[in-house]
Structure 1
C-alpha cells in the first residue's frame, strides 16, 4: 500500500506523479507487491462546521481519485482504495471504486465524533463512582488517567457539565437538585475513544446489565501482562 496525503499533512506522497513513481518502484522490488493506495481524511474532523468539512472532503477525494486514475492509466491496477474517515464517511462512501472506508471510531463512538456524525449509537462507556459532593459539584473517581478528551465527557442520564478533570478525579458541575450521592455508580461516555481504549487491558462486554464476555485489547502496546489470564465469565 502506498499512502497519499489527502490533506492531513502527516504522511504520504504529495502528488500523483510521486505515487506513480513509488508504485513502480514497489513493483520492481523483489518480495513486494503493490496492492493499492490509502489516504486518511482525519483533517476533516478538526471542524464541526458541516459545510467546511464537506468541502475539505471533496478536495481530499478529488486528489485521491485522481491518483488512482493515474495509476490505472499507466497500467498499474489499484485493487485496494482505502480512504475517508469517521467524520466524512457518508460522503466518501458515495465514490465509486473505493474498497474501504476508514471510519474506525464508529464501532464504539465517542462524544467528540458524535457531534459530527450522530448516526451511530455509543457503545463505549466507563464505569465510575461518586466519591465526593462539594458545593455545586459532583466528583467521580475517573480522571485524566481513565478517559481521553475530558472536556467532552458526559454522565449517562444526568445533565452534569464538566467543571475540571484531574489525574484521578472527574469534577462535574451539579445542577440544583442533582440526585447523585457519594457511592452512586455512574456511566461515563468518553470524549475520545481511540486514546481511551488504549488505557485499558480489555473490554467488558455487557448485555442486559450482565457481563457476558471479556475481549482483551491486544494492540495497545508491549509490557502489559496477564492478558492470557483474562477469561469470559461463565454463562
Structure 2
C-alpha cells in the first residue's frame, strides 16, 4: 500500500474518512429537520463524490454550470438543478439535450425576459422545463427581491406553456464575509425568511410552491431551521477549508481536502513550497473574508505563514524556529477548497495516510 508521503507534488489529497463524516453530518441534519438535501457539486465536480452524497440521502444535485450538469448526467445522475440564470439560445439548446436524455432538470430564473427565451427555444420540443425562482436574500448578485417581485415572476412562469414552477431558492453567499457568528446567524435567518415569505406571497395568490430551498455552508444549519424551508444545498461543507474554519463554522481538523507540497527552497528569511497560485489560488474568499492568514494553512507547522504566491512558488515566512528542510513534504489546507479542486484533474484518496484510490475531477 502506498503512503501518501511517497507521492510527487503538488498533489490534491482527499481524506476519505473526513469526507464521509462531513457528508453524513449534512445528511443527518437534513433528516433531523425533515429537509431534502441537494448538495452543490461545484465544490468537488466529482461523480464519485456526488454518488456518495446520493447514497447518504441526497435527492439530487445542484450545479453552477451546464458543463457540470452534462458531466454529472454522463456519470448517471438524473436529478439536477442548475442554479444559474440561463438565457442564451446556445445554452438553452444544451438544456434541451439534457431533457432528451431523461434528466429531471430544473433551472433558476430571475427575469421575465429570461423566461421568454426559455419558452421560445422549448416551443418546438415535447418538453416542459421546471423553473425555480431565485430571490435575493442580501448577496445582491442575482435574484428578484423577496415577496411581491417573486409573485410577479411566478405569475409569468405560469403564463408560459413550456415552463412549470417548481420552487423558490436563494443563496446567502455574503455569509462568507461575516465578521462574527452572530452576523452569520442574522444572515441565515434572513436567507430562510426571504424564501418562505416569497412562497407565502405566491400561495396566498393560489400558486403552490413545492420546494423552498436555501444554500450556503456557513448558514444552512440556521436557514434550514426556518419554518417552511424544505431543502438545503450546501456545497463547501463536503470538504470545508481554512475560510470555513476562520468563520467558526468548523475546525481545521474537519477539513477533508489538502494539497501535498514539497519544500523546494530554504533561505535565511523564507521557505518556498512548490505550490503557487496555479495550485492554491490567490483566494481569501470571494466576498471579502479577512479571517484567514496567508494563502493556506500548513498542517503541523503553525510557525510558517504562506505570505505570497507566484505561479509555481508559495513563499512562506517563519516565526521562530522550524524543522522544515529541503524536500520535506507537508499538507496544506487551502483557503478555498472549491477553487483549488478546480485546478486539478484528480483526487488522490487516502485513508489513515495510505492511498486507496484516485477519483477524477470531472
- Partners in 2 of 1:175 and 1:115 — Cα distance? 20
Confirm or deny that 1:175 pairs with 2:314.
Answer: no
Alpha carbons 2:191, 2:214 under 8 Å: kept: no
Residue 266 of structure 2 is aligned to residue 123 of structure 1 = no
Structure 1 CA distance for aligned equivalents of residues 330 and 237 of structure 2: 23
Greater Cα shift, 141-150 or 177-186:
141-150
What CA distance in whole angstroms lies between the structure 2 residues aligned with 1:63 and 1:2? 12
Distance 2:223 2:146 in 1: 20
1:82: how far off? Answer: 1.1
Q: After superposition, where does 1:99-138 map in structure 2 within 5 Å?
A: 99-116=230-247, 117-118=249-250, 121-138=254-271
Shift of 1:152: 4.1
Counting only pairs closer than 5 Å after superposition, residues 1-235 of structure 1 correspond to structure 2 as 1-116=132-247, 117-118=249-250, 121-148=254-281, 149=283, 151-159=294-302, 160-218=304-362
Aligned-partner Cα distance in 1 for 2:213–2:192: 11
Question: Aligned partners of 2:143, 2:137: CA distance in 1, in Å?
Answer: 8
Deviation at 1:194, TM superposition (A): 1.3
Distance between the aligned counterparts of 2:189 and 2:351, measured in 1? 40
Scaled by the length of structure 2, the TM-score of the pair is 0.57
Equivalent position SS for 1:206: strand
1: CA distance, partners of 2:321 / 2:188: 45
TM-score after normalising by structure 1: 0.86
> Greater helix percent: which structure?
2
**Which SS does the other structure have where 1:26 is aligned?**
helix
**How far apart are the structure 1 equivalents of 2:242 and 2:298?**
11
Deviations 1:172-229 (CA, angstroms, capped at 9, x unpaired): 11233311110111111000111111111122211122222222222xxxxxxxxxxx
* Partner residue, 1:230: none
Deviation at 1:93, TM superposition (A): 2.0
The answer (yes or no) to whether the contact 2:277–2:311 under 8 Å persists in 1 is yes
Structure 1: unaligned runs, 5 residues or longer: 219-235
| Contact 1:130–1:140, Cα closer than 8 Å, also in 2 | yes
Mind listing any 5+ residue stretches in structure 2 that lack a counterpart?
Answer: 1-131, 285-293
